[in-house]
């Protein structure tokens, strides 16, 4: 992030557009098979797989396929979604074995010659089909005190912060709390007490904010046996993050900060 | 029937709801009910910024901001409300900074500001840098910061509790002039717990509606799937009027074919629109501020270019947003998210290729009428004690017939805060209104009718037909013919809605049922919007009638107020009564709106 307000260059009133710019031709259609892990304890304690054969178009996403299955085939198919463009964090799920947002995963980027498997994210209790209980996830988030804590007098105007200091924690402000990272972490799968990557990312966002005065308290919390030291640096979280946050790097920086403050 | 008791109940956990909760929660026992999780709310999708005359980077003052807001709304803005908003904008931004919001900074470390459509220096002389921002995810940062502060203040949330009814009682009362009337009083809300399928009644002294907009009546929209006008619909069904529902904002730059928003900040940072001939066509429509004209003007200009055959692509049905003259480093620093949307969803590289865009339904200027304290009106002269509304669900009216970019993030903060304070203060002295024995009866009837629906019509099909007709006929251009046709389609859809089928009969997370209930609200709201649009025989702001292309201040310089009324008929639609409410003027005389 640069702080300069560079004056934009005045663009030309008219330009020659390259031929065919900005538009493809006919929208291609293709058939896909969606294999969805179903579970509804009102009906059965056992889960099962359902297959939906669907005709999809051009840049359709996995979410479009799920909607088509629900709207045209089986209304009981249940999943969360809201914004449908990767900013609300509702529709993290396991697609072909990888955690992603259904609204940000284009079908054409998957191998559509084979069935596309969709299941709930792992490590959180499944409530119904693709819906999990998010409460344990948000509990960990709340424990790291995810809010600015500052001592001393509040200024009448804004606190000053240099562009460099603001840049220091920019990456971890992008988190949308979708749980794709935490539920991709093998440590979290076996130890539900582990804070998990998302909580650490959100702690990082405050620990490295020059305006915050409670970094030591957060580092103390994360120095716990269920804290940062459980991380085994498998990078699953970084790969899973739909916002491109360098999650493993953030965790490493928090580890380093814990060590530095102990000296 | 499970009954909970709170001083204040807030419906909705987006920006307005959580800003209200932070105030109310520190003053009174408060619960927030949301059909989502708070961080899923659509405030998080807002991108470009939040305007306030901080004058951090150039001369500015709140009076200029007031003027721009009023002119931007084509003079249908209540000027007292616009003054409040522009004046309190400065504290609203500083509040957020103190809560921890990571704004972009100037070289001196102050909050940075950038240009936005319709925001000008000295009453229209040139664009001004007024929008405070955090890259192109300002809404995300606001939503996160407000949620963080709700966590800090231990605000009590009921997540995935879908509010379906407002408990309103009527008492006999007498006006100052001696005429008797029915005074509405609020007793609480009824909600449906999505996880368990159980009904919960919340008794409350104050209720704040902050449940967002109704964009999903349209097919092409920047709105989330969940924005189905529930709050407006609930209020309307309980006899509360809806103000200015004909005014919908179509944001110029939705990704073509998808409607996903590309922030106006792109044009604020220097991007421009071009047609198939490579022309910067906004030079013709708004010679002074060009691509930074207000959204209604830009959206209409784009639609006109396409209609006159200068659209791009195989079907010549969109125009291009050109960022190719901007430095890639500048784009990465200021517009990282929206350029990623273009890459992800259209496969277009904005560094080197212009991005296909077309107007997308974005924002409802109208909604539940309130005064500047956030108090809801039951008619032009009477408030409903204890009932408040803020944000997109409300109409205060600071946006008039066209909202300026960034003013919604401002609206939710200023009027969310006011509503939260006033709701809590009211609850401190007010008496409880008794909850009727059968408070949940209507909600149970609604839910069970839908759950047991075994007809032949599919909810998704009806919704698609509604959205198709709204896109075709009630979008940027409207005529008597297009609106009448849509009313006929809606009437037939409402009949077919009685014959829907819902496949999921369970209680647990029955989202099939949820979508069917939401469609009921969409059909109600689409009808109100279209009736009001047909009745308004003029063009103003976001409402453009090709058969009445001029603004008509003599006959239509007034707000519309739509009431549910079984005995009434408006524009051949039974059950809707349309009245008017005067616009509040303070110091700005209506002028011709030129940019």
Q: What distance in Å separates the CA atoms of residue B102 and residue B402, rounded to the nearest whole number? A: 29
Q: What is the dihedral of CA B528, B192, B32, B406, to 10 degrees?
A: -30
For A91, the token pair is 């529709």
The reply to whether residue B509 touches residue A128, judged by beta carbons under 8 angstroms, is yes
CA distance A16 to chain B (A): 6
* Shortest CA distance from B101: residue in chain A: A148
Does A5 score more than 90 pLDDT? no
Cis peptide before B397 (omega within 30 of 0): yes
Interface touch B326/A8, C-beta < 8 Å? yes
Tell me what pLDDT residue A58 has.
85
Other C-beta atoms lying within 10 Å of the C-beta of residue A19: 5
Q: What is the pLDDT of residue A18?
A: 80
* Contacts across the A-B interface (CB distance below 8 Å): 222
CA-based torsion, B123, B124, B125, B130: positive or negative: positive
Sequence-distant (≥ 6) Cβ neighbours of residue B564 within 8 angstroms: B236, B237, B239, B575, B576, B577
Fold match, A29-132 / A135-150+164-262: no
**Smallest CA–CA distance from A162 into chain B, residue:** B109
A159 touches chain B (CB under 8 A): yes
A151 confidence band (pLDDT: 50, 70, 90):
confident
Mean pLDDT (whole number) for A40-53: 97
B309 vs chain A: nearest CA distance in angstroms? 16
* Mutant choice from B150, B362, B511 vs A, greatest count of A C-beta within 10 A: B511
- Is A259 in CB contact (< 8 Å) with chain B? no
Contact B98 A154 (CB under 8 A): yes
Q: Does domain A29-132 have CATH number 2.130.10.10?
A: no
CB B404 within 8 A of CB B70: no
Contacts of A206 (CB under 8 A, 6+ apart): A145, A146, A147, A148, A149, A169, A212, A214, A215, A218, B100
* Active-site annotation holder among B115, B129, B130, B295: B295
Nearest alpha-carbon partner for B164 in B311, B35, B67, B257: B35
Instruction: Provide CB contacts within 8 A for A45, sequence distance 6+.
Output: none
Identify all chain A residues contacting B21, using CB atoms and an 8 Å cutoff.
Answer: none
Q: Quick one: closest CA in B to A22, which residue?
A: B356
pLDDT in tens, A16-25: 888 766 455 5
- Point out which residues pair with B361 in neighbouring strands: B221, B250
Of B41, B346, B504, the CB nearest to A75: B504
pLDDT at A4 > cutoff 60: no
Show pLDDT as tens, one digit a residue, over chain B (595 residues).
899 999 999 999 999 999 999 999 999 999 999 999 999 999 999 999 999 999 999 999 999 999 999 999 999 999 999 999 999 999 999 999 999 999 999 999 999 999 999 999 999 999 999 999 999 999 999 999 999 999 999 999 999 999 999 999 999 999 989 999 999 999 999 999 999 999 999 999 999 999 999 999 999 999 999 999 999 999 999 999 999 999 999 999 999 999 999 999 999 999 999 999 999 999 999 999 999 999 999 999 999 999 999 999 988 999 999 999 999 999 999 999 999 999 999 999 999 999 999 999 999 999 999 999 999 999 999 999 999 999 999 999 999 999 999 999 999 999 999 999 999 999 999 999 999 999 999 999 999 999 999 999 999 999 999 999 999 999 999 999 999 999 999 999 999 999 999 999 999 999 999 999 999 999 999 999 999 999 999 999 999 999 999 999 999 999 999 999 999 999 999 999 999 999 999 999 999 999 9
- In DSSP terms, which residues pair with B364 in a beta bridge? B248
The architecture (CATH level 2) of A135-150+164-262 comes to Orthogonal Bundle (1.10)
Sheet holding B558-570, edge to edge: B242-243, B558-570, B573-582
Q: Do B224 and A15 touch (CB under 8 A)?
A: no
* pLDDT tops 90 at residue A11: no
Contact of A139 with chain B, judged by CB distance below 8 Å, is answered with no
Distance CA B166, CA B390 (A): 16
pLDDT for res B591 = 94
Distances, alpha carbon B500 to alpha carbons A73, B7, B445, B452, B465, in Å: 15, 39, 16, 10, 14
Contact check, Cβ <8 Å, B314/A23: yes
The beta strands (E) that lie in B152-308 are given as 156-159, 161-174, 180-193, 199-209, 242-243, 248-255, 272-274
CB–CB contact B36 A90 (8 Å) = yes
By Cβ distance, the residue of A76, A85, A142 closest to B504 is: A76
Closest chain A residue by Cα to residue B268: A8
Catalytic status, residue B295? yes
Task: Indicate which of B136, B149, B274 best probes the interface with A, i.e. most A CBs within 10 Å of its own CB.
Answer: B274
Q: Please judge whether B341 and A85 are an interchain contact, meaning their C-beta atoms are less than 8 angstroms apart.
A: yes
Under an 8 A CB cutoff, do A128 and B140 touch? Answer: no
- Let me know: does B566 contact B531? Beta carbons within 8 Å: no
- Nearest CB neighbour to A148, from listed B99, B341, B348: B99
Q: For the complex shown, is ipTM > 0.90?
A: yes
Tokens of B358: 């077309």
Task: Give the domain ranges of chain A.
Answer: 29-132, 135-150+164-262
- Which residues have C-beta within 8 Å of that of residue A22, sequence separation ≥ 6? B312, B313, B318, B320, B348, B353, B354, B355, B356
Residue with tokens 């957060």: A218
Residues of A in contact with B277 (CB under 8 A): 14, 17
**Inter-chain touch B42–A59, beta carbons under 8 Å:** no
B269–A8: do the CB atoms touch at under 8 Å?
Answer: yes
CB proximity under 8 Å: A 208-247 to B: 209, 211-212
CB contact under 8 A, A6 and B330: yes
Residues in chain A within 8 Å Cβ distance of B36: 82, 88, 90
Which chain A residues have a beta carbon less than 8 Å from that of B225? 81-84
Burial status of residue B202 (CB atoms within 10 A of its CB: 0-12, 13-18, 19 or more): buried
pLDDT band at A1 (very low <50, low <70, confident <90, very high): very low
For A118-147, how does the pLDDT look when each residue is reduced to its tens digit (9 = 90+)? 999 999 999 999 999 999 999 999 999 999
Residue A2 confidence class, pLDDT cut points 50, 70, 90: very low
Nearest-CA distance from A195 to chain B in Å?
17
């Amino acid at each position: 992030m640069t702080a300069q307000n560079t004056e934009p260059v005045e663009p030309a009133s008219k330009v020659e557009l390259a031929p065919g710019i900005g538009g493809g031709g006919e929208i291609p259609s293709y058939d896909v098979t969606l294999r969805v892990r179903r579970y509804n304890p009102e009906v059965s304690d056992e889960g099962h797989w359902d297959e939906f054969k669907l005709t999809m178009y051009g840049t359709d996403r996995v979410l479009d396929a799920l909607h088509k299955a629900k709207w045209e085939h089986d209304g009981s198919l249940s999943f969360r979604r809201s914004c449908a463009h990767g900013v609300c964090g509702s529709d993290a799920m396991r697609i072909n074995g990888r955690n992603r947002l259904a609204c940000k995963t284009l079908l054409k980027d998957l191998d559509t010659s084979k069935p596309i498997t969709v299941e709930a994210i792992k490590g959180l209790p499944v409530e119904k089909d693709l819906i999990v209980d998010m409460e344990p996830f948000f509990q960990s988030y709340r424990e790291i005190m995810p809010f600015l804590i500052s001592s001393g007098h509040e200024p009448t105007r804004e606190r000053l912060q240099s562009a460099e200091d603001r840049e220091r924690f920019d990456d971890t402000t992008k988190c949308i709390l979708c749980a794709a990272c935490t539920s991709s972490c093998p440590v979290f799968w076996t130890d539900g007490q582990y804070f998990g990557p998302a909580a650490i990312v959100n702690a990082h966002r405050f620990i490295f904010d020059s305006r915050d005065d409670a970094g030591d308290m957060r580092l103390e919390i994360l120095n716990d046996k269920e804290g940062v030291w459980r991380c085994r640096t498998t990078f699953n979280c970084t790969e899973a993050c739909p916002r491109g946050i360098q999650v493993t790097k953030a965790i490493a920086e928090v580890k380093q900060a814990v060590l530095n403050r102990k000296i | 029937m499970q009954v909970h008791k709170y001083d204040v109940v807030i419906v909705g956990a987006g920006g307005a709801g959580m800003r209200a909760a932070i105030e109310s929660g520190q003053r009174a026992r408060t619960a927030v009910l949301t059909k989502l999780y708070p961080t899923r709310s659509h405030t998080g999708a807002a991108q470009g910024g939040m305007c306030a005359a901080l004058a951090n980077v150039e001369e500015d003052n709140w009076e200029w901001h007031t003027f721009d807001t009023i002119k931007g709304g084509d003079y249908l803005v209540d000027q007292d409300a616009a003054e409040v908003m522009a004046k309190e904008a400065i504290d609203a931004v500083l509040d957020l900074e103190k809560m921890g919001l990571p704004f972009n900074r100037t070289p001196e470390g102050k909050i940075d500001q950038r240009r936005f459509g319709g925001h000008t220096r000295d009453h229209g002389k040139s664009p001004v840098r007024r929008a405070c921002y955090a890259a192109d995810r300002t809404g995300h940062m606001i939503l996160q910061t407000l949620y963080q502060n709700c966590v800090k203040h231990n605000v009590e949330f009921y997540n995935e509790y879908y509010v379906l009814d407002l408990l309103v009682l009527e008492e006999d009362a007498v006006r100052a002039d001696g005429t008797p009337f029915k005074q509405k009083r609020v007793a609480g809300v009824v909600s449906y717990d999505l996880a368990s399928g159980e009904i919960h009644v919340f008794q409350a002294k104050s209720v704040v509606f902050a449940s967002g907009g109704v964009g999903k009546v349209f097919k092409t929209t920047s709105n989330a799937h969940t924005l189905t006008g529930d709050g407006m619909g609930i209020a309307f069904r309980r006899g509360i009027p809806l103000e200015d529902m004909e005014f919908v904002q179509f944001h110029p730059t939705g990704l073509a074919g998808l409607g996903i928003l590309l922030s106006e900040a792109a044009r604020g940072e220097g991007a421009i629109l071009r047609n198939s001939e490579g022309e910067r066509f906004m030079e013709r429509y708004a010679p002074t501020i060009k691509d930074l004209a207000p959204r209604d003007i830009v959206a209409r200009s784009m639609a006109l270019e396409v209609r006159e055959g200068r659209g791009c692509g195989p079907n010549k049905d969109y125009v291009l947003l050109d960022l190719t003259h901007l430095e890639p480093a500048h784009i990465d620093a200021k517009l990282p998210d929206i350029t990623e949307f273009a890459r992800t969803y259209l496969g277009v590289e904005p560094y080197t290729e212009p991005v296909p865009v077309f107007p997308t339904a974005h924002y409802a200027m109208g909604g539940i009428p309130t005064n500047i304290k956030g108090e809801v009106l039951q008619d032009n002269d009477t408030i409903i004690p204890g009932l408040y509304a803020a944000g997109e669900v409300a109409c205060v009216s600071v946006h008039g017939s066209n909202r300026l970019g960034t003013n919604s993030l401002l609206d939710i903060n200023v009027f969310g805060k006011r509503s939260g304070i006033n709701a809590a203060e009211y609850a401190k002295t007010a008496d409880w209104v008794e909850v009727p024995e059968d408070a949940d009866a209507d909600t149970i009837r609604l839910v069970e009718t839908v759950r047991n629906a075994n007809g032949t019509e599919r909810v998704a099909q009806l919704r698609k037909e509604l959205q198709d007709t709204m896109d075709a006929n009630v979008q940027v251009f409207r005529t008597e013919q297009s609106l009448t046709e849509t009313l006929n389609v809606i009437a037939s859809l409402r009949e077919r809605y009685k014959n829907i089928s819902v496949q999921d009969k369970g209680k647990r997370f029955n989202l099939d049922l949820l979508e069917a209930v939401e469609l009921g609200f969409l059909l109600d709201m689409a009808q109100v919007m279209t009736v009001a649009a047909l009745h308004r025989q003029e063009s103003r702001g976001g409402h453009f009638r090709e058969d009445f292309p001029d603004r008509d201040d003599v006959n239509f310089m007034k707000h519309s107020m739509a009431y549910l009324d079984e005995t009434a008929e408006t524009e051949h639609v039974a059950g809707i009564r349309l009245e008017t409410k005067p616009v509040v003027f303070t110091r700005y005389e209506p002028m011709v709106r030129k940019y």
